[in-house]
């Protein structure tokens, strides 16, 4: 599965960053810059799946984005806290509500030695938007025109105000004019590392780019090694064959914590695990809001986190985590109240006669299946957990064949509109990609659509928070917990994980151990 945002539980997902900025950015805070540190030799990094391609416009895969982010850059970037900052553009402004003007850096060189020009930027954005081979056209769906403003700037014009276009531009990497005509894969980038060697479905070798426009990275060489077997992913770290592992599971924590030469590196991610359901149909209990509220109250999420995730997790009181723009901190914390849940079921006239079939991917059944089944049965429901291979689960879920299921979502743009657009809004007008239960509320849909027309970040945040209040009142989905990102490393690795789960080698240094 190469879905843009649906969480599959093994670290393979696509992410972007949050930050709605309509003011000019300051170059001094550029996320493209690293710290000037003495050179080190190399670092070996384990990743959770194969790199699909090194064509920066030829995929929409999370692991691939993470490796490519060391080679390529966009006009803007995100820092470790998911804030939009300048990169190949030094600043930007809005001459009007549908025009974004970017001023380009003048000191950027591609890996093949050519200087970056306005024509290269125009070519790259137009290719991402228009070429039939581009896998990222949807990121620029609202763009109507890309033109030169001057020798050092460009204009991007949208069909309507687009407050999240900066988030989308993070992954629109810039390559030399005509690059895709000359090379099927890996065109020159501008990033701090240049490709040294790679064979498809194999290890990626990078070396430091001596002509990089930003500060010189610490580490000279980086090796990204695919570790496809989730259950054995940590073994090369235990054996000293790699230095850092990205995309571990909670099951690895206990072993790593016992090793004095290793350390866990855990960060709150951008993913929520939630229960979805199908609306409509004769006698469907999910059509009653009290039933949805009862399920929300019945689940002992604290226990799930304690017993399954070794305390590395957080109960979800809304369907986006705190790092996401649009999170509403004023909503009450999640509570586990089985008495209230039982009272709601009693108000309905008792539990449904038919058992609830709870569908979930196989890798989630062992961890959380028994917990969810126990908690729901304790309020009088009859529950049967049905595991599926991921591909089967995804296909059936997207076809609307699952009446009740556990899934997850990662806000790829770092903005709550990601979730609202795909999972809450009705399936119409390009919205509702994952509203597979066909639940809808026209008034709520209109509020979601309006949020896309507000450029002022403060005003838009108020609207997004208001939508979240309604979502938690109505529970069109039932959030369960926020999913952390699990990494582990040798003690010699000095690195702080990013909220987007990408490993940028320029942010790592190697110390003594």
Contact predicate 5/411, CB 8 Å: yes
What SS3 class is residue 303?
helix
Residue 25 predicted with pLDDT over 50: no
What is the DSSP track for 125-189? HHHHHH-TT-S-GGGGTTEEEEEEEETTEEEEEESS--TTHHHHHTT-----TTHHHH-SS----
Contact predicate 179/187, CB 8 Å: yes
Contact predicate 325/166, CB 8 Å: no
What SS3 class is residue 404?
strand
Residue 413 to residues 152, 272, 397, Cα–Cα distance (Å): 27, 14, 23
Residue 385 to residues 272, 372, 434, Cα–Cα distance (Å): 20, 9, 22
Residue 180 predicted with pLDDT over 80: yes
Confidence band for 32, pLDDT divided at 50, 70 and 90: low
CA distance 384 to 339: 22
CA distance 137 to 130: 7
Give the torsion through C-alpha atoms of 107, 111, 115, 121, to 10 deg.
-90
Is CATH 3.40.190.10 the right assignment for the domain spanning 27-261+491-510? Answer: yes
Least confident of 289-303, 412-426, 453-467: 412-426
Span 73-89, average pLDDT: 94
Show the tokens assigned to 300: 């002992």
Residue 231 predicted with pLDDT over 90: no
Confidence band for 26, pLDDT divided at 50, 70 and 90: very low
170 phi and psi angles, rounded to 5 deg: -55, -40
Instruction: Give the largest CA-CA distance in the chain.
Output: 74
User: What's the pTM value of the predicted model, to 2 decimals?
Assistant: 0.79
Contact predicate 108/152, CB 8 Å: no
Confidence band for 34, pLDDT divided at 50, 70 and 90: very low
Residue 250 to residues 3, 6, 11, 182, 314, Cα–Cα distance (Å): 23, 19, 12, 44, 13
CA distance 95 to 218: 39
Span 353-363, average pLDDT: 93
pLDDT (tens digit, 9 = 90+) per residue, 293-352?
Answer: 999 999 999 999 998 887 778 999 999 999 899 999 999 999 999 999 999 999 999 999
Confidence band for 481, pLDDT divided at 50, 70 and 90: very high
**pLDDT value, residue 24:** 36
* Cβ neighbours for 94, distance < 8 A, ≥ 6 positions apart: 22, 100, 101, 455
Would you kindly state where each structural domain of the chain is located, as residue ranges? 27-261+491-510, 269-484
**pLDDT value, residue 513:** 60
Report the DSSP pairing between strands 219-226 and 99-104.
unpaired
pLDDT (tens digit, 9 = 90+) per residue, 49-75?
Answer: 899 889 999 887 888 999 999 999 999
CA distance 411 to 142: 19
Question: Which among 22-31, 55-64, 273-282, 368-377 has the top mean pLDDT?
Answer: 368-377
Contact predicate 84/17, CB 8 Å: yes
* Tally: H helices and E strands in the chain: 14, 19
Q: Which residue has the higher pLDDT, 304 or 414?
A: 304
Contact predicate 494/509, CB 8 Å: yes
**pLDDT value, residue 39:** 42
* Cβ neighbours for 34, distance < 8 A, ≥ 6 positions apart: 192, 214, 215, 217, 218, 504, 506, 507
What is the DSSP track for 142-158? TEEEEEEEETTEEEEEE
pLDDT (tens digit, 9 = 90+) per residue, 382-413?
Answer: 999 999 988 899 889 999 999 999 999 888 78
Ramachandran region, residue 212 (left: φ > 0; alpha: ψ -120 to 50; beta: rest) = beta
Residue 512 predicted with pLDDT over 80: no
Contact predicate 82/17, CB 8 Å: yes
CA distance 306 to 382: 25
Mean pLDDT score of the chain: 89
CATH code for the domain defined by 269-484:
3.10.105.10
Contact predicate 222/505, CB 8 Å: yes
Span 364-379, average pLDDT: 94
Q: Which residue has the higher pLDDT, 367 or 462?
A: 462
CA distance 261 to 487: 14
């Amino acid at each position: 599965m190469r879905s843009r945002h649906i969480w599959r539980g093994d670290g393979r997902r696509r992410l972007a960053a949050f930050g709605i900025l309509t003011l000019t950015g300051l170059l001094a805070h550029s996320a493209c810059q690293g710290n000037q540190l003495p050179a080190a030799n190399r670092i070996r990094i384990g990743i959770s799946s194969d790199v699909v391609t090194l064509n920066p416009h030829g995929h929409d895969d999370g692991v691939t984005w993470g490796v490519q982010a060391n080679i390529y850059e966009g006009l803007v970037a995100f820092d470790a806290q998911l804030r939009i900052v300048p990169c190949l553009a030094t600043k930007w402004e809005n001459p009007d509500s549908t025009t974004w003007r970017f001023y380009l850096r003048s000191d950027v060189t591609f890996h093949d030695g050519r200087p970056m020009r306005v024509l290269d930027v125009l070519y790259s954005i137009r290719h991402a938007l228009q070429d039939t081979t581009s896998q990222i056209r949807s990121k620029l769906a609202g763009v109507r025109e890309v033109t030169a403003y001057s020798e050092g700037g460009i204009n991007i014009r949208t069909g309507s105000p687009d407050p999240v276009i900066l988030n989308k531009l993070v992954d629109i990497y810039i390559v030399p004019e005509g690059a895709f005509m000359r090379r099927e894969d890996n065109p020159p980038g501008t990033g701090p590392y240049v490709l040294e060697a790679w064979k498809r479905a194999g290890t990626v070798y990078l070396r430091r780019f001596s002509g990089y426009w930003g500060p010189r990275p610490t580490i000279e060489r980086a090796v990204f090694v695919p570790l496809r077997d989730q259950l054995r992913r940590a073994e090369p770290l235990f054996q000293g064959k790699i230095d850092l592992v990205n995309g571990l599971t909670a099951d690895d924590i206990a072993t790593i914590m016992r090793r004095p030469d290793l350390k866990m590196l855990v960060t709150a991610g951008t993913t929520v695990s939630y229960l979805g359901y199908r609306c409509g149909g004769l006698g469907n209990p999910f059509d009653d809001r009290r039933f949805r509220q009862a399920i929300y109250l019945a689940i002992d999420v604290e226990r799930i986190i304690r017993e399954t995730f070794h305390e590395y997790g957080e109960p979800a009181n809304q369907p986006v985590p705190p790092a996401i723009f649009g999170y509403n901190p004023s909503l009450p914390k999640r509570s586990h109240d089985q008495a209230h849940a039982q009272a709601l079921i009693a108000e309905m006239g008792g539990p449904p006669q038919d058992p609830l079939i709870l569908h979930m991917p196989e890798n989630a059944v062992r961890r959380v299946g028994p917990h969810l089944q126990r908690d729901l049965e304790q309020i009088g429901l009859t529950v049967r957990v049905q595991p599926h291979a991921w591909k089967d689960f995804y296909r059936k879920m997207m076809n609307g064949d699952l009446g009740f299921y556990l899934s997850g979502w990662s806000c790829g743009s770092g903005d709550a509109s990601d979730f609202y657009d795909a999972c809450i809004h009705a399936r119409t007008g390009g919205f509702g990609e994952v509203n597979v239960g066909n639940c809808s509320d026209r008034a709520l849909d209109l509020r979601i659509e309006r949020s896309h027309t507000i450029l002022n970040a403060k005003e838009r945040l108020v609207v997004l928070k208001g939508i979240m209040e309604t979502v938690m009142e109505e529970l069109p989905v039932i959030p369960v917990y926020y999913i952390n990102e699990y990494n582990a490393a040798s003690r010699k690795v000095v690195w702080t994980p990013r909220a987007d789960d990408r490993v940028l080698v320029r942010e790592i240094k190697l110390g003594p151990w």
